[in-house]
C-alpha cells in the first residue's frame, strides 16, 4: 500500500521563511489573528486527518469506484464517514465568509491544505473542492437572499456544489450550450437540458446538491453573450430553508473512467427544474469564470499533490530496492546488490520530480498570497497589481502543474520498474489519476491560448510586464550577493530570453494569429520554467543563509535540488525557444486531406 506523509516542513519553509507570509497576511484587514502558531497547528491537524483517515481510502476507492443504481450514486466504502469527519472538523469553512458561518482565514492556508488533500486522495478532494468553487461564485455574484439561503449549509459542508457547463455538443465552446431557462413568473426559472461530465453531480455524501448551471433565456443573443447562470438545487427548500421535494434534477448515468474513480462523474438531467438567476442576465459565463478560475488553480494543485506522493513512494523504494552495482564500485559490500539510488538515471527521475514539486509549491503559495492581497489589501493599487499577477499565472499553474504532474508520476512509476505497473504498489493509480488534470477545467491547450492570446495583450501588456519587473527587481536587489551570482546569471539570461521571445511573439501574432496558436503550449512551459526558476533562486539564497544552523541537512538538500533545477531543467527553455521561433507554417502547410 502506498505511503504518504504531508510535507509540513517544506510548507513551513515556503510560508514562513521564504515569503514571511504570516506577517504579510496578519497585516491585512480581518487576518490579524493569522499567527505562525495558528498556521502550523492547522497544517498539523489537517495532516493527521488526511494521512490517517482519507489516504487509506485512496486505493480501495479506486478499486470500488462509484456505483450507479436507478439514479442513485453511492461513493466507495468509507467515503461517507471520512466526509463526515472532514465537515465536522470545520475543514470546509476555513477561508469562507464569517457572515455565513465561515472561519474567514486566508486563502493561502486553504491552498496548502489542498495540496495535502490531493496527495492523500484526489477523488475525495473533488467533492469539497467543487463546493468551494461554487461558494466563491455564489458569494461573488448572487443576491443577498440566495446567499443567506444557500451559503451557510454549503460552507458547513452539509450541502455540496457543482459546476454544470459541458453538454454533449458544447465542450470548450460554451457558445453552443442549449440548456433552456424559462421565466416562471415568480422570479424563478424552469431549467431544462442535459449536462455531462458533472463532478459530484450525484452522490450520497450530502443532503442537498446545489448545481450552478449555464443556460439560455428565451430572448438570449447567440453565442457566449447569451448565456446566463442559474442556481438549481437538487431538492427545493421549504419555508424553513430545509431540503423538501425533488426539483426535477436527476442523474442519468455515471462515467467509467481511466482514473479518479472514487469521484462520481455524472450525466445530469434538468427537467423544468426550478432555478434562480445568479448575476445579470446573459452574463453567466463571466460569473461562472469566478468558479472556473478557482477550479483551474485547484486542478494545478492536483498535479503538485500527485507529484509529491509519487515522489515519496518512489524515493522510499529506491532507498530499499537492491538492484545492480554502482558504476564506480560496490556501494553495499554486505549485500548482493546496491540500492537503486546508486544509479544516476534513478536519481535523474527522482530529482526531476522533487525539483518540480518544490518549485511549484513555492509558486502556488506565492500565488495564494497574491489572491489574499487582491481581496484584502487596503491600497487599491496593490489589490490591482496582485489581481493582475494571479490572472497571469492562473493558466500557467493549471497547465504546467498538471503537465509536470503527469510526467513525474510516470517517472516515479518507472523507478519501481515492473512493480510500478502492478496495481498493489499504487503507482499506476497516480499516473491514471494525474492524466485527467491535463484535460478537465479547460484542456491545457486552451490554457496556453488564454496565456498567449489574452493575458499577454490585456491592458496593453501590463500583466507580463508586472511579473517581468518583479524578477528584474529581485536580480537588482541581489546583485551584490556573491554566493548567488551563478544562479542570478542563469535567471537573468532566462528572463532576457523570455522577454525577447514575448515581444517577438506579440509582433508575429499581430500579423498571423496562427503563430500564437502554434507557439502557445511551448511558450507556456517556457514561461513556467522561468517563473519557477525565480522561485528557486530565492530558495537557494535562503538556504545559503541558513545552511550552517540546526537544520543543516534540510537546507543542504534544498541547495542540491535547486542546483539540479537550474542546471538540468531550466535549460529546456533553449529548445523551447527554437521550437516557438520555427513558426506555424510547419503545422499549417499540411493539407487537411493528408492527416
Predicted pLDDT of residue 27 = 96
Residue 169 has what DSSP assignment?
T
Predicted pLDDT of residue 548 = 82
Predicted pLDDT of residue 550 = 86
Choice between 176 and 590, residue whose per-residue pLDDT is larger: 590
Q: Determine what percent of the chain is predicted with pLDDT higher than 70.
A: 100
**pLDDT of 363 higher than 90:** yes
Predicted pLDDT of residue 171 = 80
Q: How far apart are CA 353 and CA 412, in angstroms?
A: 8
Task: Look up residue 258 and give its three cell numbers.
Answer: 481511466
Q: How far apart are CA 365 and CA 430, in angstroms?
A: 23
Closest CA to 300 of 35, 118, 78, 51: 118
Predicted pLDDT of residue 291 = 86
Task: Look up residue 407 and give its three cell numbers.
Answer: 510526467
Rounded average pLDDT over 561-583: 98
Q: How far apart are CA 134 and CA 146, in angstroms?
A: 13
Predicted pLDDT of residue 164 = 96
**pLDDT of 436 higher than 90:** yes
Task: Look up residue 163 and give its three cell numbers.
Answer: 459546476
User: pLDDT tens for residues 67-123?
Assistant: 999 999 999 999 999 999 999 999 999 999 999 999 999 999 999 999 999 999 999
Predicted pLDDT of residue 38 = 97
- Phi, psi of 197, rounded to the nearest 5 degrees: 60, 40
| Chain position carrying cell 516542513 | 9
Rounded average pLDDT over 573-591: 97
H or E element, residue 315: helix 284-320
pTM summary value: 0.97
Alpha-carbon 386 to chain mean position = 18
Predicted pLDDT of residue 290 = 86
Predicted pLDDT of residue 173 = 81
Predicted pLDDT of residue 234 = 98
Burial environment of residue 381 by CB neighbours within 10 A (0 to 12, 13 to 18, 19 or more): exposed
Rounded average pLDDT over 317-343: 95
Predicted pLDDT of residue 366 = 98
Q: Could you give the 3-state DSSP secondary structure of residue 196? A: strand
Q: How far apart are CA 169 and CA 187, in angstroms?
A: 29
Q: Is 441 in the active site?
A: yes
Computed over every residue of the chain, the mean pLDDT equals 96
Q: How far is CA 498 from CA 19, 204, 486, 502, 576, in A?
A: 24, 49, 19, 6, 11
Residue 498 has what DSSP assignment?
H
**pLDDT of 1 higher than 90:** no
In terms of DSSP bridges, do strands 228-233 and 235-237 run parallel, antiparallel, or are they unpaired? unpaired
Which position among 441, 476, 577, 592 bears the catalytic label? 441
User: pLDDT tens for residues 541-555?
Assistant: 999 999 887 899 999
Q: Could you give the 3-state DSSP secondary structure of residue 193? A: strand
User: pLDDT tens for residues 14-49?
Assistant: 999 999 999 999 999 999 999 999 999 999 999 999
Q: Where are the domains of the chain?
A: 458-588
Q: How far apart are CA 247 and CA 467, in angstroms?
A: 47
Give 99's contacts (C-beta < 8 A, 6+ positions apart). none
Alpha-carbon 552 to chain mean position = 32
User: pLDDT tens for residues 377-410?
Assistant: 999 999 999 999 999 999 999 999 999 999 999 9
**Count of other CB atoms within 10 angstroms of residue 145:** 10
Cβ atoms of 247 and 235 closer than 8 Å: yes
Q: How far apart are CA 386 and CA 393, in angstroms?
A: 11
Q: How far apart are CA 375 and CA 287, in angstroms?
A: 17
**pLDDT of 170 higher than 90:** no
Write the secondary structure of 81-105 as one string of H (helix), E (strand) and C (coil).
Answer: HHHHHHHHCCHHHCCCCHHHCCCCC
Write the secondary structure of 267-298 as one string of H (helix), E (strand) and C (coil).
Answer: EEEEEEEEEEEECCCCCHHHHHHHHHHHHHHH
Predicted pLDDT of residue 174 = 82
Task: Round to the nearest angstrom and report the end-to-end CA distance of the chain.
Answer: 44
Closest CA to 117 of 357, 305, 369: 305
Amino acid at each position: 500500500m502506498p505511503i504518504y506523509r504531508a510535507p509540513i516542513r517544506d510548507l513551513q519553509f515556503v510560508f514562513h521563511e521564504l515569503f514571511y507570509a504570516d506577517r504579510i497576511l496578519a497585516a491585512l484587514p480581518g487576518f490579524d489573528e493569522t499567527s505562525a502558531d495558528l498556521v502550523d497547528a492547522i497544517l498539523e491537524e489537517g495532516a493527521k486527518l488526511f494521512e490517517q483517515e482519507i489516504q487509506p481510502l485512496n486505493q480501495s476507492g479506486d478499486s470500488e469506484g462509484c456505483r450507479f443504481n436507478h439514479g442513485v450514486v453511492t461513493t466507495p466504502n468509507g467515503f461517507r464517514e471520512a466526509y463526515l469527519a472532514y465537515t465536522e472538523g470545520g475543514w470546509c469553512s476555513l477561508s469562507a465568509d464569517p457572515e455565513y458561518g465561515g472561519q474567514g482565514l486566508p486563502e493561502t492556508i486553504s491552498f496548502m491544505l489542498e495540496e495535502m488533500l490531493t496527495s492523500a486522495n484526489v477523488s475525495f478532494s473533488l467533492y469539497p473542492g467543487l463546493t468551494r468553487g461554487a461558494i466563491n461564485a455564489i458569494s461573488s455574484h448572487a443576491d443577498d437572499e440566495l446567499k443567506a439561503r444557500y451559503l451557510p449549509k454549503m460552507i458547513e459542508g452539509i450541502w455540496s456544489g457543482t459546476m454544470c457547463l459541458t453538454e454533449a455538443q458544447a465542450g470548450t465552446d460554451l457558445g453552443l450550450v442549449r440548456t433552456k431557462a424559462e421565466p416562471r413568473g415568480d422570479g424563478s426559472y424552469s431549467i431544462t437540458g442535459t449536462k455531462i461530465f458533472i463532478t459530484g453531480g450525484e452522490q450520497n455524501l450530502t443532503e442537498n446538491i446545489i448545481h450552478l448551471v449555464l443556460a439560455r433565456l428565451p430572448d438570449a443573443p447567440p453565442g457566449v453573450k447569451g448565456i446566463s447562470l442559474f442556481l438549481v438545487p437538487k431538492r427545493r427548500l421549504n419555508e424553513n430553508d430545509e431540503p423538501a421535494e425533488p426539483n426535477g434534477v436527476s442523474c442519468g448515468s455515471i462515467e467509467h473512467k481511466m482514473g479518479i474513480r472514487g469521484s462520481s462523474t455524472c450525466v445530469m438531467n434538468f427537467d423544468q427544474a426550478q432555478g434562480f438567476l445568479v448575476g445579470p442576465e446573459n452574463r453567466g459565463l463571466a460569473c461562472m469564470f469566478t468558479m472556473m478560475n478557482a477550479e483551474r488553480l485547484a486542478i494545478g494543485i492536483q498535479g503538485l499533490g500527485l507529484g509529491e506522493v509519487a515522489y515519496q513512494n518512489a524515493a522510499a523504494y529506491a532507498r530499499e530496492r537492491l538492484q545492480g552495482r554502482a558504476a564506480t564500485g560496490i556501494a553495499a559490500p554486505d549485500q548482493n546488490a546496491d540500492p537503486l539510488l546508486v544509479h544516476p538515471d534513478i536519481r535523474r527521475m527522482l530529482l526531476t520530480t522533487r525539483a518540480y514539486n518544490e518549485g511549484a509549491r513555492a509558486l502556488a503559495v506565492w500565488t495564494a498570497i497574491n489572491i489574499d492581497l487582491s481581496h484584502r489589501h487596503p491600497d487599491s493599487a496593490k489589490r490591482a497589481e496582485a489581481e493582475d499577477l494571479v490572472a497571469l499565472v492562473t493558466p500557467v499553474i493549471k497547465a504546467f502543474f498538471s503537465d509536470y504532474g503527469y510526467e513525474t508520476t510516470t517517472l516515479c512509476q518507472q523507478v519501481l520498474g515492473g512493480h510500478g505497473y502492478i496495481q498493489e504498489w499504487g503507482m499506476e493509480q497516480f499516473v491514471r489519476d494525474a492524466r485527467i488534470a491535463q484535460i478537465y477545467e479547460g484542456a491545457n491547450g486552451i490554457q496556453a491560448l488564454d496565456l498567449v492570446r489574452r493575458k499577454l495583450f490585456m491592458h496593453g501588456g501590463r500583466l507580463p510586464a508586472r511579473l517581468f519587473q518583479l524578477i528584474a527587481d529581485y536580480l537588482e536587489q541581489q546583485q551584490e550577493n556573491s554566493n548567488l551570482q551563478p544562479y542570478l546569471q542563469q535567471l537573468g539570461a532566462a528572463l532576457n530570453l523570455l522577454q525577447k521571445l514575448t515581444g517577438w511573439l506579440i509582433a508575429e501574432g499581430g500579423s498571423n494569429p496562427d503563430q500564437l496558436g502554434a507557439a502557445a503550449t511551448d511558450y507556456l512551459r517556457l514561461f513556467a520554467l522561468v517563473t519557477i526558476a525565480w522561485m528557486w533562486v530565492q530558495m537557494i539564497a535562503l538556504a545559503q543563509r541558513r545552511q550552517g544552523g540546526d537544520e543543516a541537512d534540510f537546507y543542504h538538500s534544498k541547495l542540491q535540488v535547486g542546483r539540479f533545477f537550474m542546471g538540468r531543467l531550466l535549460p529546456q527553455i533553449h529548445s523551447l525557444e527554437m521550437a516557438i521561433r520555427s513558426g506555424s507554417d510547419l503545422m499549417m502547410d499540411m493539407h487537411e486531406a493528408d492527416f
